[in-house]
Structure 1
Amino acid sequence: MKKLLVLSGAGISAESGIKTFRDADGLWEGHDVMEVATPEGFQKNPALVLEFYNQRRKQLKDVKPNAAHIGLAELEKDFDISVVTQNVDDLHERGGSSKIVHLHGQLLQARSSHNPEAIIDWTADIALGQKATDGSQLRPHIVWFGEAVPAMEEAIRLADDADILVVIGTSLQVYPAAGLISYVRPEVPVFYIDPKPAEIPWMPNAVEVISMTASEGIAVLRKRLTAL
Structure 2
Amino acid sequence: MKHLVVLTGAGMSAESGIKTFRDENGLWEGHDVMTVASPDGFKKHPELVLDFYNQRRKQLLEVSPNQAHYLLASLEKDIKTTIITQNVDDLHERAGSSNVIHLHGELLKARSTGNATNVFPWKKDIMLGDICKEGHQIRPHIVWFGEAVPMIENAIKICQTADVLLIIGTSMQVYPAASLVDYVPQNTSIYYIDPKPALSATHQVNVISEKATTGLQKFINYYL
Give the TM-score of the pair, scaled to structure 2. Answer: 0.96
1:147-167 Cα offsets, whole Å, 9 max, x none, are 000011111111011111000
Cα distance, 1:135 vs structure 2: 1.9
Q: Secondary structure at the match of 2:110?
A: strand
Residue of structure 1 in register with 2:9 after alignment? 9
Match of 2:90 in 1: 90
Return the letter of the residue paired with 1:9: G
More displaced, 81-90 or 129-138? 129-138
Deviations 1:21-75 (A, max 9, x none): 3334212222221111011110001011111111111111211111111111111
Shift in CA distance, 82/173, structure 1 to aligned 2, threshold 3 Å: same
1:211: which partner in 2?
209
Residue 129 of structure 1 is matched in structure 2 by 129
- Which amino acid is the alignment partner of residue 111 of structure 1? R
* SS of aligned partner of 1:53: helix
Corresponding position of 1:149: 149
Determine the C-alpha separation between the residues in 1 that align with 2:3 and 2:117.
29
1:6 counterpart SS class: strand
Q: Is the 8 A contact 2:81 2:99 kept in 1?
A: yes
Q: What residue identity is the alignment partner of 1:12?
A: M
Question: How many matched pairs?
Answer: 224
8 Å contact kept, 2:22–2:29: no
The 2-side partners of 1:64 and 1:85 are apart by 17
Cα distance change, pair 180–200 in 1 and its aligned pair in 2 (3 A): farther
Secondary structure at the aligned position of 1:23 is classed as coil
Q: RMSD of the TM alignment (CA)?
A: 1.5
Confirm or deny that 1:188 pairs with 2:188: yes
The aligned counterpart of 1:64 is 64
Give the residue type in structure 2 aligned to 1:177: A
| Structure 1 residues not aligned, in runs of 5+ | none
Give the superposition deviation at 1:131.
Answer: 1.0
In the alignment, is the contact (CA less than 8 A) between 2:5 and 2:164 conserved in 1? yes
Name the CA distance, whole Å, in 2 between partners of 1:169 and 1:215.
Answer: 10
1:28-47, aligned counterparts within 5 Å?
Answer: 28-47=28-47
CA distance in structure 2 between the partners assigned to 1:129 and 1:101 by the alignment: 30
8 Å Cα contact 2:200/2:207 also seen in 1:
no
Q: Residue 200 and residue 42 in structure 1: after superposition, are their counterparts in 2 closer, same or farther (change >3 A)?
A: farther
Distance 1:148 1:200, change over 3 A: farther
Kindly state the Cα deviation for residue 137 of structure 1 after the two structures are TM-superposed: 1.1
